[in-house]
């Protein structure tokens, strides 16, 4: 997901707390740290991991949207385009898989991407004006929107570049 990077101290027990700007405005919800791990811990102690001063927070606009969904329905709702993309390759875009997990379709039939004409093997290179270099980047950019938003996807098929409009669908998460 898209996250705010911070050097604010986030230690065990204070994840989930507010990330504030210099004016005292809450701009995010602290959620994760990058740790030294694997024996590179603090104070030279082997086998312990610790913060290396790099933290991440969920942007407040995303947190507010999820909170409102939880209040209204008891479940979070996430935007989606209805495709499965590779999560390991990076650099050239997010390529729609040829087949989905467990034999499912990589492009959800009658889903947003299917309605927009996307097909397995297409490589998504832009969402609106943002360059997409990988599957995780595509997902991160989608999560910055809400279901029902219309976005423009640029993709490559057979060496040629195309654009299409996609109205984001939704996926309901767990409680």
The domain limits of the chain are: 4-73, 77-172
Domain 4-73 has CATH 3.30.420.40: no
Q: How many CA atoms lie within 13 A of 164 on its CB side?
A: 20
pLDDT at 51: 55
Identical fold between 4-73 and 77-172: no
Query: So what's the pLDDT on residue 65?
Result: 85
Class of domain 77-172 as given by CATH: mainly beta
Each residue's pLDDT expressed in tens, for the chain with a length of 175 residues = 577 788 777 776 666 788 889 999 999 888 877 766 543 333 333 444 555 667 888 888 888 888 888 898 888 888 999 998 987 777 789 999 887 777 678 899 999 999 999 999 999 999 999 999 988 889 888 988 889 999 999 999 999 999 999 999 988 876 5
The confidence score (pLDDT) of residue 108 equals 92
Q: What is the pLDDT of residue 119?
A: 94
- Give residue 1's pLDDT: 57
Q: What is the pLDDT of residue 148?
A: 93
């Amino acid at each position: 997901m898209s996250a705010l990077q911070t050097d604010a101290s986030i230690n065990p027990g204070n994840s989930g707390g507010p990330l504030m700007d210099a004016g005292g405005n809450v701009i995010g919800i602290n959620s994760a740290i990058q740790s030294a791990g694997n024996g590179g811990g603090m104070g030279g102690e082997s086998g312990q991991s610790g913060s290396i001063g790099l933290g991440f927070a969920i942007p407040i606009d995303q947190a507010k949207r999820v909170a409102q969904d939880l209040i209204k329905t008891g479940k979070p709702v996430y935007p989606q385009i209805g495709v499965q993309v590779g999560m390991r390759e990076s650099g050239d875009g997010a390529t729609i898989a040829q087949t989905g997990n467990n034999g499912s379709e990589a492009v959800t039939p009658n889903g947003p991407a299917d309605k927009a004409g996307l097909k397995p093997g297409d490589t998504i290179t832009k969402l609106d004006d943002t360059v997409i270099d990988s599957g995780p980047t595509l997902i991160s950019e989608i999560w910055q929107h809400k279901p029902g938003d219309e976005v423009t996807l640029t993709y490559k098929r057979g060496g040629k570049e195309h654009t299409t409009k996609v109205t984001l669908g939704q996926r309901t998460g767990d409680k």
